Structure 1
């Protein structure tokens, strides 16, 4: 249940849908298995898996919904090899070279024939909706996958206006300052041991793990003009994470005390109670942490307002 990666979004023009109404809407876009000729499919599934058919769990204003994504994996190399064999066979039999359009048509035929036999890859993507703060966060490392889930939610509700969460100070600017100047770091900010430094020119990217950010080597890179595009940070008693320059949080690890608190809660061996207990503790910790991160970055940038500080 504990999220590992988050893409964050601000919700505008909040849909008028309580948990009961939302459950009804979600059921109309519930996941169903891929058909034989379908390349991919996305729909809503029960967050608790087989333990419950409920599509939306809401606790103290925090909603948990889950998308199920399936796609058929058909490597282009497999299609190309089959097409080449068929092209060669036809050209040999007919004694002529196939035109480009004929090859494209043959490629489409091969793709349609091979697709039903392709391997299927499944992925569950959790979405957390904080109805009090009007914040949506999606547990995936891919921005593209997050946008797909948002598109599904938009289709489910009829409309959904969201924008990526943005801060007054650009994360890259703030991370570079924190990495180069210890005195600039907020009191409750804990520095981690991972960083990615980008140069303004074509000098490539430096990625370092298990490194002392305050070492002379790191300082030299920063003095030379490199900027921190990723930086491992932490909030004591809550979590650690890698902050990215688009305000995504990745490689999230929750504090042991928080995880222990969840594990010590008596769930009566009920999988749904366990899910909801973990989710609520996690959501509360994430909500507080996101507020702290925005404070570090000078607050949230308002839609249509001033451009974030470079």
Structure 2
């Protein structure tokens, strides 16, 4: 279940190129960390955990994938303690101080000794591409993590010119107007959470409200004092609740009861459960994204816009 949505867009030409995605992922499966590696990243099955499970799941016009990571856990305190022990031993046995260059070499030795014995932490990040409407949807609110997944897809395909959203209408200005005047676009209603900031101050004075009446006098007073909306809780079509940021990242996404009541719960296997949940999710999110694209005037890139991006370029063998 996706909880946060970082969004990118791509053209119809890129959609056609994505038909080869299932085959492209095969050579980029996650492999275990080697003894001397701090971490690895690669694709893992959206459903299942074995090496035989598919790295890709297609549901209508959406293709689902998951990037997994393995990261060695070596706390800085553990490294520093072991390094201090080695430095003290040299000082005691040889009666001399340890210089900076030697300390650096000793630290590298410590890392090499500890890495093979370090615990491995695993994580997964889901995403899907909507080839009909040109959306890449990534389950994270972190721009850095989203870019890392996008880079992983680009590495597999050789090229994937998906671009950040480029709204023609300023999200912060529009959301501030919605909150101040109560004139929300059709289909949207206020939730109970927002973050207001004063963009004119260096410190970025802010007010956060959760489980609040956003039409209250307190909120209006903050707006009169010059604060603007940086995050706003919204409800869409009485089916989805979420918090929309001025960066158009969707956080705290939740399917509401009227939506969940339509979910087919008669699935007795993981594949059926995955398909039912994500078909419902992607359909509801698709309707939301279409509405957001209209409200904020978010264009889908034209084929000409990515002609120079080299979608036919392939990675060298």
TM-score (norm 1): 0.89
Helix, strand or coil at the partner of 2:133: coil
- Per-residue deviation at 1:81? 2.1
- Per-residue deviation at 1:255? 2.0
Tell whether the 8 Å contact from 2:192 to 2:214 is kept in structure 1 after alignment.
yes
Please list the CA deviations of residues 233-285 of structure 1 after superposition, one character each: whole Å capped at 9, or x if unmatched.
11023311011121110100012222221234x43x23212211221121111
5 Å matches for 1:216-231?
Answer: 216-231=217-232
Tell whether the 8 Å contact from 2:15 to 2:131 is kept in structure 1 after alignment.
no
TM-score (norm 2): 0.88
| RMSD between aligned residues | 2.0
Cα distance in structure 2, aligned partners of 1:156 and 1:303: 22
- Give the equivalent residue in structure 2 for 1:64: 64
- Per-residue deviation at 1:303? 6.2
Cα distance in structure 2, aligned partners of 1:198 and 1:246: 14
Q: Does 1:98 align with 2:73?
A: no
Q: Which runs of 5+ in 2 are unaligned?
A: 303-317
**Distance change (3 Å), C-alpha of 1:230 and 1:83:** same
Helix, strand or coil at the partner of 1:25: helix
Which is further off, 210-219 or 87-96?
A: 87-96
Please list the CA deviations of residues 122-177 of structure 1 after superposition, one character each: whole Å capped at 9, or x if unmatched.
11111110000111011123221111111110010011111112311222222222
Tell whether the 8 Å contact from 1:238 to 1:289 is kept in structure 2 after alignment.
no
Helix, strand or coil at the partner of 1:193: strand
Tell whether the 8 Å contact from 2:9 to 2:301 is kept in structure 1 after alignment.
no
- Give the equivalent residue in structure 2 for 1:45: 44
Helix, strand or coil at the partner of 1:14: helix
Helix, strand or coil at the partner of 1:120: strand
Please list the CA deviations of residues 88-111 of structure 1 after superposition, one character each: whole Å capped at 9, or x if unmatched.
221232222222111111112212
Cα distance in structure 1, aligned partners of 2:15 and 2:133: 14
- Per-residue deviation at 1:14? 0.6
5 Å matches for 1:124-163?
Answer: 124-163=124-163
**Distance change (3 Å), C-alpha of 1:50 and 1:89:** closer
- Per-residue deviation at 1:119? 2.3
- Give the equivalent residue in structure 1 for 2:30: 31
Aligned residue-pair number: 298
Tell whether the 8 Å contact from 1:186 to 1:296 is kept in structure 2 after alignment.
yes
Tell whether the 8 Å contact from 1:15 to 1:160 is kept in structure 2 after alignment.
no
Cα distance in structure 1, aligned partners of 2:91 and 2:16: 62
**Distance change (3 Å), C-alpha of 1:238 and 1:85:** same
Cα distance in structure 1, aligned partners of 2:288 and 2:60: 17
Which is further off, 242-251 or 270-279?
A: 270-279
- Per-residue deviation at 1:15? 6.0
Q: Which runs of 5+ in 1 are unaligned?
A: 305-310
Helix, strand or coil at the partner of 2:84: helix
Helix, strand or coil at the partner of 1:70: strand
- Give the equivalent residue in structure 2 for 1:112: 112
Helix, strand or coil at the partner of 1:114: helix
Helix, strand or coil at the partner of 1:237: coil
Helix, strand or coil at the partner of 2:263: helix
